[in-house]
Structure 1
Amino acid sequence: MACLLLRHARQHCLRSQFYPMFSVRNTVPMTTSTSKRLEQYEEKNARLNRPLSPHITIYKWSLPMMMSITHRGTGIALSGGVSLFGVAALLLPGDFASYLDLVKSLSLGPALLYSAKFALAFPLMYHTWNGVRHLAWDLGKGFKIPQVYQSGYIVLALTLLSTAALASL
């Protein structure tokens, strides 16, 4: 037992000699003055009504910023929708045709049907066209600011046109 303790002490000593950053002896606890200064700093920022940095309210919203957020949102919506559709296909009774007949029997107006189809097609079309834009960026093309805005407007136009075409089917 004493031999094991001696060997452990020797290994610890060697470890702290060769790897001083991993040694417990080199960690410095936060002193009272340090914690007090941090507390004063936080109180001062709260008193001056300063936001945490970086804060969303200090940024001017731009087209690339909004398109990036929308791309992530449509990706989440598409993966969630496909997952729900798959689970529904496994768990619900009947087949797709029976549910399609159910929707037809509701006698919804053409404007409501077109709006619903548009809402379903928009995330797919936006995510697809913006994905093509990202592929162009992966090739190293279109990084200059005017090109970023131009490709953004092109993606929006293609999204609206292809969504309207899909919804009209």
Structure 2
Amino acid sequence: MAALALRGLGRRCLLARLGPGPTLHQSIPMATTAREEMRRFWERNERAGRPLSPHVSIYKWSLPMAMSISHRGTGVALSLGVSLFSVAALLLPEHFPHYLAQVRALSLGPALVCSAKFLLALPFCYHTWNGIRHLAWDLGKGLKLPQVTQSGVLVLALTLLSSAALAAL
């Protein structure tokens, strides 16, 4: 009971000190509404011939853009692969040589085995070479657009060569 009385007294004192709040009659009307502003914005864009979406015509796919997305994708894929392999190593009842022997018992052709090894090595090699490229960028090297494209082509070539070399082992 005392808490309610104290709360009521505190509220009255606070309201008396602050005075009445702004009412609808005291507020200043806005010059334009949001709808009018948006209508003027889109009319101005139509007169200027601007596209409705920047993704339609402004941002065209380029090698650096595709490689940036691929770098993130391979990073996620590699971390998921390592995590799944680790969990499998912990939970499966047999040791790794047992499962390797089962794969060898399938008698897959050398072309299929080499292709599988290449596909497993490809994201690792790409992410490694592109990571080195990003480290060079962190040092401020090769940030001009022609250099970015050249280093992208170099990363792709090194990725293919190193993946093929690992698959050949």
| TM class by smaller structure | 0.7 to 0.9
User: How far apart in 2 are the matches of 1:167 and 1:76?
Assistant: 22
Backbone CA RMSD of aligned residues: 2.9
Whether 1:146 aligns to 2:146 is yes
In structure 1, the partner of 2:48 is: none
In structure 1, the partner of 2:79 is: 79
User: How far apart in 2 are the matches of 1:108 and 1:57?
Assistant: 48
In structure 1, the partner of 2:26 is: none
**TM-score in terms of structure 1 length:** 0.73
SS in 2 for 1:155: helix
1:8 shift after superposition: 4.7
1:141 shift after superposition: 1.0
CA gap 1:72/1:52 in 2 versus in 1, 3 angstroms? farther
Structure 2 gap segments, 5+ residues each: 22-32, 43-50
Listed as ranges, the matches of 1:73-152 within 5 Å are: 73-152=73-152
1:53 shift after superposition: 3.1
SS in 1 for 2:164: helix
In structure 2, the partner of 1:3 is: 6
Whether 1:166 aligns to 2:169 is no
Q: Deviations over 1:49-100 (max 9, x none)?
A: xx86343675211110110111011011101101110111111110110011
Q: How many residues align?
A: 143
Q: Please tell me whether Structure 1 or Structure 2 has the larger radius of gyration of its CA atoms.
A: 2
Identity of aligned residues (%): 65
1:7 shift after superposition: 3.1
Deviation beyond 2 Å, 4+ runs, structure 1: 1-11, 33-39, 51-59
Structure 1 gap segments, 5+ residues each: 18-32, 43-50
CA gap 1:102/1:132 in 2 versus in 1, 3 angstroms? same
In structure 2, the partner of 1:46 is: none
1:155 shift after superposition: 0.6
